[in-house]
Structure formats: structure tokens, C-alpha cells
Structure 1
Amino acid sequence: MTEYLAVNRANWDERAPAHAASADYGYERFLADPRHLSGVVTFDRPLLGDIEGLRGVHLQCHIGTDTLSLSRLGARMTGLDFSGPALEIARRLAASAGAEIGYHESDVYSAADVLGAGEFDLVYTGIGALCWLPDIARWGQVVGTLLRPGGRLFIRDMHPMLGTLDETQALLTPRYPYYEQAEALVFDLPGTYVDTDVSFQSNVTHEWNHGLAEIVTSLLDAGLTLTKLAEHDSVPWNALPGQMVVDPATEEWRLAKDPQRLAASFTIEAVKRK
């Protein structure tokens, strides 16, 4: 089972510099404007609410643009990711921006061992994270362990319905499992989700879908109470090429025709019971 970590880490290690160099992540905008926030956190902000003074951890933080954005909203942030090259970029960005953010290299399932139990007021997980994890129930236990009583999880991620669709088909055709499976979905795809001319060598990934009820149940079983659940018709990348259009105001992609047909992402907030 640990093979997936090595395979996926190689993929993300190689892509981190290309992501930092792309306009999509807006690395230079963070340095030019101390008020700049990522598009992801800007979208999250109405549901996220006030996080001033909270001690927060961003799981699967990648190159740290969302982590820095949360810091700029007043949270005392820590970032965690399994990719060393991604964390090097995140640390460099935070230092250049004058933000005090501690970054730790670890897979998600070891987060509590690295960061400690009951240390955080906020656990934040951004878009495109859960598909890299084979066991959603175990993830829920990690979230519950990291949070102090009364602390909350905030996550926005790809909707599992979107995760079932075959992007190569003109019709919206379910092809992949909606529910978590023991075996990974193995893909071998060149390129990445940002515009880049870089050619990559590590193109294999191991991924899993998780049903919405499975995600919610993992949190309930970990001692959390669901406080918000929202579904959205958009995601911040072109998930279905040829069928989606971007909203320039939000940098979000939705179906060009009848976007109400598809829940593309979801938001969950859950609070650890006291």
C-alpha cells in the first residue's frame, strides 16, 4: 500500500517548480501585493468566516499559496505536505512575503505524530486533496486528533460525482467508482493542470474517489459535528476540457452548458465536540 506514496510523491516533486512558475498560482502576485489572496481562499472566504488569531494547519499544502493566504487573513498557520520540493517553494514564498509559517514534511496519516494532538483551532484542506488518500476513515481520525475540542475542520474539494466522469467523452459519462475502493485508480498522464511547457518524466498517479457520505461519516466517527455542507457547480481548474468555461471574476470553471447539472465541488465545516 505504501507504493502509492512513492509514486505520487515523485509526480508532485517534479511538478512543484512548474506550478510555482505558472501564472495560475500567481506566485509573483503574492510578493507584489501584501493583500493578495489565492483564488481558492478567496472563494472559500464567505463560508470560512473570521479566522483571526486561530492556530491553523493546512494539510496537503503543496507550494503554500493557500497557506500564505490564510496567514494573511490572521491565522497562525502551519503547513504540511509530503513533497520536499513543494515545501522548499512554500518556505521561500513565506520568507519573501514576511510571513511566519512553519512547514513540515510528512504524509497526512502521520500528521498527528509530527504536529501533536489537540494543537489546532483550524484544520484546513484545500481543493484537490482527498483523491490522493486511500482511506477516508483514517483521514477523519487524523483531523479529529489534530483539533482541540471546539476546533473546526474546513475543507473544499472536488465533488465525488465529478470524480466519476470520463473527461475524454463528449457526453458526461460516469466511468470511475463513486465510492472508495480498496484498489487505486492508476493513471499515466503527461502534463499537469497548469499551463506549462515543461515535459515531465513521472506521470503515473494512484488516486481514489470517496463518496460524500463516506467523507461526512469519517468526521462524525472521529468526534466532529457537521456544521456546514455546501455543493458548488464550479472548480478552480478545467476538469472537463472542452466542456467547461472559466469565470474571469472568480477563476472558477463550470460547465458551459447547463452548469446546474453537475455538483463539481463541495464545502464541509465540522467542529470537534467538547
Structure 2
Amino acid sequence: MSEYLTLNKTNWDERAPLHAASADYAVQRFVDDPQFLSEVVQFDRPLLGDIQGLCGVHLQCHIGTDTLSLARLGAQMSGVDFSPASLAQARTLAQRCHTPIDYHESDVFLAAEVLPQGSFDLVYTGIGALCWLPSIERWAQTVGALLKPGGRLFIREGHPMLWALNEDHSDSLRVEYPYFERREPLVWEDENTYVQTDSALKATVTHEWNHGLGEIISALLAQGLEITGLVEHQSIPWEALPGQMVVDERGEWRLKEAPWRLPLSYTLQAVKRPA
């Protein structure tokens, strides 16, 4: 296993139980309320549309709250993640909610080797996933391999312009990190995760990459997908730029001042063309 996979997997294995226990992921609310959906999927619903009866797969599903939410909207869902600790939490949640979801442990680049190729109506990738992948072309190959002709990709992600900003500056927007994909990763060391927790991480080093919007679109086009929608949003579901943001009633954060200056996230949809 390459260094980045080892480091990132160990980090996410540590995060999984902390996330499952946090109020941010609202695990108990999923159990108590069969109609409850994650904030991310709630945001997606107007563009996601009717997914009743679709065969779907959620790539990089983590502890499965978004996967479960898609299943509650009527899709027959599978989930893929490289972290066994995350999948253990996802399976437990699905069982507690009496919802059949087929989970698989796999690096996303190998997902088409553990799932039936060309058999999915919907490939879903949630927010905060692509930054962990060194190659957007290999990700697009996985998407193209899993979708059946006419099947749809739906992704909401943090905007690459946001990822290029240094969040340590609380008084200005400063582009200090790559916008385009580079071979070498950004190497981070942080004992904290993005939810409220009293526990510090021991596996503190992670590797991440940015991918420009044009690179993402070009990679999908190369795999025979047709772009059917691209919406850039002025909000994102966490305080990505501390000290410069305000939160709304949906849990979405936007810039306090002149939010039109910066796209914070985007929704991209594409359909696999017939062979």
C-alpha cells in the first residue's frame, strides 16, 4: 500500500468512532426518526430529484449517513470506503435503522473490481471526498466503469477555489495553495478532526490534493460522460474559513462580507452516454 493510502486510512480509522459519537453526524437522530436525512442530502434534494428505485453507489461513503439518507429517498444503495472502521460504523447504523445497504471495503480506484461494472443508475460522491485522491483521471475511470449507459453521476464538492485558500488568515482571502492537481501532495499534520470531540488523533499526518474544475470535467468527458449540470454555490456545510463566515438555518456557511466573491462548493451532474 502506498504511503498516502496508509497515512490517510489510519487517520480515517481513528476519525470514524469520533464522528459516529459526535452530535454533528446525528447518528441517534437517524435511529429515532425514520424520515431524518443528513443536512448534505437535504441540500442536494432539489437537484438530485426523484431517485426512487435507482440502483446507486456512494463512493467514499465514510460512516454512511449520506448513504442511508439516499436509501431513505428510495434508492437501493451500496457504499464503498477504504476505512474498515468507517464501514463498521456504517453497517451498524444501517442495521439499527433496519435499512439494507451493501457496503464494500475498497480504495475508490479499485471499486470497479469489487462491484459489478456497468450496473449502477447513480454514482454519488459527497462533499469533502475528492481532495483525498491523487488522480482525478483515475476517479473518473471508476465512475465511468460503474455507471450503466444512461446512468448518472451526482457530486457536490468543496470548490477547488476554496481549497486553494489558506484558512489560517481570518481577515482576508489569500490564494496560497494549488488550484490545479499536482503530483506532490499537500502534507498536513493535525491532531484534530472537523467535529466537536474531546479526543485528539494519534494518526495526525494526511496527504491531500486539489483538482481544478476544468480537470474534473475533462476527466469525466474522457470517460464518455456528458455534463448535464454544473451549479456553483456560495455556501458549504462547515466553517471552512474561520472568522470570516456565518451559518444559516440549514447549517450552511457563507462569507460574512460580499459572499459573491467566492464559490465555496459546486454540484456537478453527468450522464454516461450509450456505447
TM-score range normalised by the length of the shorter chain: over 0.9
Q: CA deviation at 1:250?
A: 1.1
Please give the residue correspondences for 1:1-274 in structure 2 after superposition, counting only pairs within 5 Å. 2-169=2-169, 170-247=171-248, 249-274=249-274
SS at match of 1:214: helix
- Give the Cα–Cα distance (whole angstroms) in 1 for the partners of residues 236 and 11 of structure 2: 22
- Give the Cα–Cα distance (whole angstroms) in 2 for the partners of residues 260 and 194 of structure 1: 27
The CA deviation string for residues 212-265 of structure 1, in whole angstroms up to 9 with x for no partner, is 000011110000000000000111111111111111x21111111111111000
Q: Which amino acid aligns with 2:69?
A: S
SS at match of 1:24: helix
- Give the Cα–Cα distance (whole angstroms) in 2 for the partners of residues 46 and 144 of structure 1: 24
- Give the Cα–Cα distance (whole angstroms) in 2 for the partners of residues 227 and 178 of structure 1: 24
The CA deviation string for residues 80-111 of structure 1, in whole angstroms up to 9 with x for no partner, is 00000110000000001010001000010000
The CA deviation string for residues 91-150 of structure 1, in whole angstroms up to 9 with x for no partner, is 000001010001000010000001021010000000000000000011111100000000
Q: Which amino acid aligns with 1:228?
A: G
Q: Which amino acid aligns with 1:18?
A: L
TM-score normalised over the length of structure 1: 0.98
Q: CA deviation at 1:55?
A: 0.2
Q: CA deviation at 1:64?
A: 0.2
- Runs ≥4 in structure 1, deviation > 4 angstroms? none
Name stretches of at least 5 consecutive residues in structure 1 with no aligned partner. none
Q: Cα RMSD (Å) of the superposition?
A: 0.8
- Give the Cα–Cα distance (whole angstroms) in 2 for the partners of residues 203 and 211 of structure 1: 26
- Give the Cα–Cα distance (whole angstroms) in 2 for the partners of residues 205 and 72 of structure 1: 33
Q: Which amino acid aligns with 1:135?
A: S
Q: Which amino acid aligns with 1:38?
A: S
SS at match of 1:228: strand
Q: Which amino acid aligns with 1:127?
A: I
- Is the Cα–Cα contact under 8 Å of residues 109 and 139 in structure 1 kept in the other structure? yes
TM-score normalised over the length of structure 2: 0.98
- Give the Cα–Cα distance (whole angstroms) in 2 for the partners of residues 251 and 245 of structure 1: 10
- Give the Cα–Cα distance (whole angstroms) in 1 for the partners of residues 130 and 265 of structure 2: 12
Q: CA deviation at 1:268?
A: 0.4
- Is the Cα–Cα contact under 8 Å of residues 193 and 238 in structure 1 kept in the other structure? no
Aligned residues: 273
Q: Which amino acid aligns with 2:138?
A: R
Q: Which amino acid aligns with 1:175?
A: E
SS at match of 2:25: coil
- Give the Cα–Cα distance (whole angstroms) in 1 for the partners of residues 255 and 191 of structure 2: 24
Q: Which amino acid aligns with 1:69?
A: S
Range with greater deviation from structure 2 (237-246 or 39-48): 237-246
Q: Which amino acid aligns with 1:244?
A: M
Name stretches of at least 5 consecutive residues in structure 2 with no aligned partner. none
- Give the Cα–Cα distance (whole angstroms) in 2 for the partners of residues 81 and 214 of structure 1: 23
SS at match of 2:23: coil
- Give the Cα–Cα distance (whole angstroms) in 2 for the partners of residues 43 and 237 of structure 1: 13
